[in-house]
Amino acid sequence: MKKILFAISLFLVISAQAQIKFEKGYFISNNGNRMECYIKNLDWRNNPNSFEYKTDMKSDSVHEESIYGNREFGIVNVSKYVRYKVNIERSETNINNLSKTKAAQFKEETLFLKTLISGSANLYLYTADNITKYFYETATTPIEQLIYIKYINNNFSTNGANSFSENISENNQFRQQLLNNVRCSEAPESDFSTVSYRKNELIKLFEKYNACNKSASEEAVNYNDKVKRKSFALKFAPGLYMASLSASDPHQYYNVSTEFKKTVFKIAVEAEYILPFSNNTWSIFVNPSYHKFSDTKNYNRNDGFGVISKDDNYTANVKYSAIELPFGVRRYFFLNASSKIFINAMYVYNLSISDSRISFTNNTFGTAGNNSFDIAPRNNFGLGAGYSYKKFSVEFRVNTTRNITDLIEWNIEYSTNGIILGYNVF
């Protein structure tokens, strides 16, 4: 465990600089001057209020600009942010923090809005920790928020007696806004009566509008299509592990400590989802595997004061087949376009196969003193660190020790530490 923690710490130190990624970009100051530069791409999950840049990639000097001195900035073929002073309502959709009113409560704020679609009609995105809001503008409609509010509706009724109830309702004013201002002449009204307050559906509407209202001066651009993300990966991930099983029965003197150590092979696959922020550096994954641990050894009985009955032949036998289901989170640190290091942490759900048992046999006196019982594994945790190059990866993983019996009088602990070799199918 100490070795893996040291390795993880070393990886973090090495990758601290590797994660600083500046890409070709620009910004436009309040006086209209355009500055070509290299902007630090943080792949902002929440809309930023500032950004860092370099004038020369070879320079160590990093500068910072804020929203108050610049009206626009962007990273070429990645993203574009435009400053606006807007009226914004910040109602949440989290059921525990819903608005108590249908009406929008506006506040004037200066924000960098992320451009999703530009053309005859522009679509913008604003995200904060708990909210996602969309804004739009056309040649005839100044920028405004598309209004969607999920709220608690209080109902009063009188049926011989007053009664009160609460339910969740929606203010879908954005549909009327779109129908009035972002509708092609041939577009059916049903396109707007059913549209959801979701990025992909809104983008489709704006693309249709821009397609039938082409501007000679400005070509429609879908910034959301400029960055192609790989969101899902599937890999073969077999592993070679050193497995350790120790058994003790301090309340009965079959054996104070019997330990098995053996190399086991795990057959495994891994499904991974890359989270859509922070430049593909975070992911979640599930890594189902199967392995079998089987061994037999002789041992001497011990009553806690020393070995007894040395002439007796006692045999311990273990047969353990298990399916493991680790669910985890992974953090990548990119070294270059082809290689990266990573660390991950996981919760491991364990399931033993029905014939998994451990037994202690007295071979001298027949069945006298024999003991046998099923293995019933508990869940545990795991840590890993590794290196990935294109489709190939190697990972060193440590799993915490887990008790694999429900019997109070026995303590049977099992652990595995090993190396995983991975190959991405897609």
Same domain, 219 and 237: no
Name the H helices within 116-193: 173-181, 190-193
For residues 51 and 39, the answer to whether their CB atoms sit within 8 Å is yes
pLDDT tens for the chain, 426 residues long, are 555 455 555 555 544 444 557 899 999 999 999 999 999 988 888 999 999 999 998 888 999 999 999 999 999 988 999 999 999 999 998 888 888 888 999 999 999 999 999 999 999 999 998 899 999 999 899 999 999 999 988 765 555 555 555 688 999 999 999 999 999 888 888 889 999 999 999 999 999 999 888 765 567 788 876 666 678 899 999 999 999 988 777 655 455 457 888 999 999 999 999 887 777 888 999 999 999 988 888 766 655 555 555 555 677 888 888 899 999 999 998 887 788 999 999 999 988 777 788 887 776 665 555 677 788 778 999 999 999 998 999 999 999 998 888 777 777 888 999 999 999 998
Residue spans of beta strands (DSSP E) within 254-370:
258-274, 282-286, 289-299, 301-302, 307-308, 314-334, 339-352, 357-362
Q: Which residue is listed with tokens 């530490």?
A: 417
Domain membership flag for residue 41: no
How many other CB atoms sit within 10 Å of the CB of residue 302?
A: 17
- Which of 225, 245, 271 is the last residue before a domain boundary? 225
For residues 118 and 223, the answer to whether their CB atoms sit within 8 Å is yes
Structure tokens, 283 = 């992911």
Same domain, 272 and 373: yes
> Could you give the 3-state DSSP secondary structure of residue 385?
strand
Cβ-based neighbours of 158, under 8 Å, separated by 6 or more: none
Cβ-based neighbours of 303, under 8 Å, separated by 6 or more: 253
How many other CB atoms sit within 10 Å of the CB of residue 280?
A: 17
Domain region containing 407: 232-424
Domain membership flag for residue 40: no
Domain membership flag for residue 47: no
Same domain, 144 and 290: no
